[in-house]
Amino acid sequence: MAGESGMREIQMDADNLYIEDLVTDMAAGSIRRLTPITKEGAADVGRPIIYMGQAQVMSAMGPLPLTFALEGTDLAGAVDLFPAAAEEAVQKMAEELKEMQRQQASQIVVPGAGGGGMPGGGMPGGGFQLR
């Protein structure tokens, strides 16, 4: 890949491979179970299984994806942790959006310079609903 375009060659990290399983209740969201493997495809028992939660929240701008870590040591633990971790991810996203609004509002506005930003003058700040 390097050469004509000057791009670096893209390579996979053979020491950081995972098999991904998706578990869902088809309502609240899904859990990605990432099981470490060797480059030969055998289980890599020296590394922990990783659980990631995924959900969507509805906002004034439509659905927004959420991805968050689940610190469970097995699938049952990840399922138990899902509601609190999803709520924490929603709160973190709301705080980040408020900070973006604050930063946007503190910028100097020059008349006639073209407004950019979003219609209505800002980012959506509230009204999230887990979907």
CB-neighbour burial class of residue 44 (10 A; exposed 0-12, middle 13-18, buried 19+): middle
Q: Any alpha helices (H) in 1-131, and if so which ranges?
A: 75-105
Over the stretch 43-65, which tens digit does the pLDDT of each residue have? 999 999 999 999 999 988 899 99
What's the predicted TM-score (pTM) here?
Answer: 0.72
pLDDT of 109 over the 90 cut: no
* Residue 74 token pair: 């097995």
pLDDT value of position 7: 80
Region 89-112: mean pLDDT is 87
CA distance 79 to 38: 27
At 123 the pLDDT is 46
- Residue type present at position 92: K
Taking the C-alpha atoms of residue 83 and residue 104, their distance in angstroms, rounded to an integer, is 32
Question: 68 falls in which pLDDT band (50, 70, 90)?
Answer: very high
- Sorted by where each begins, the domain ranges of the chain are 17-103
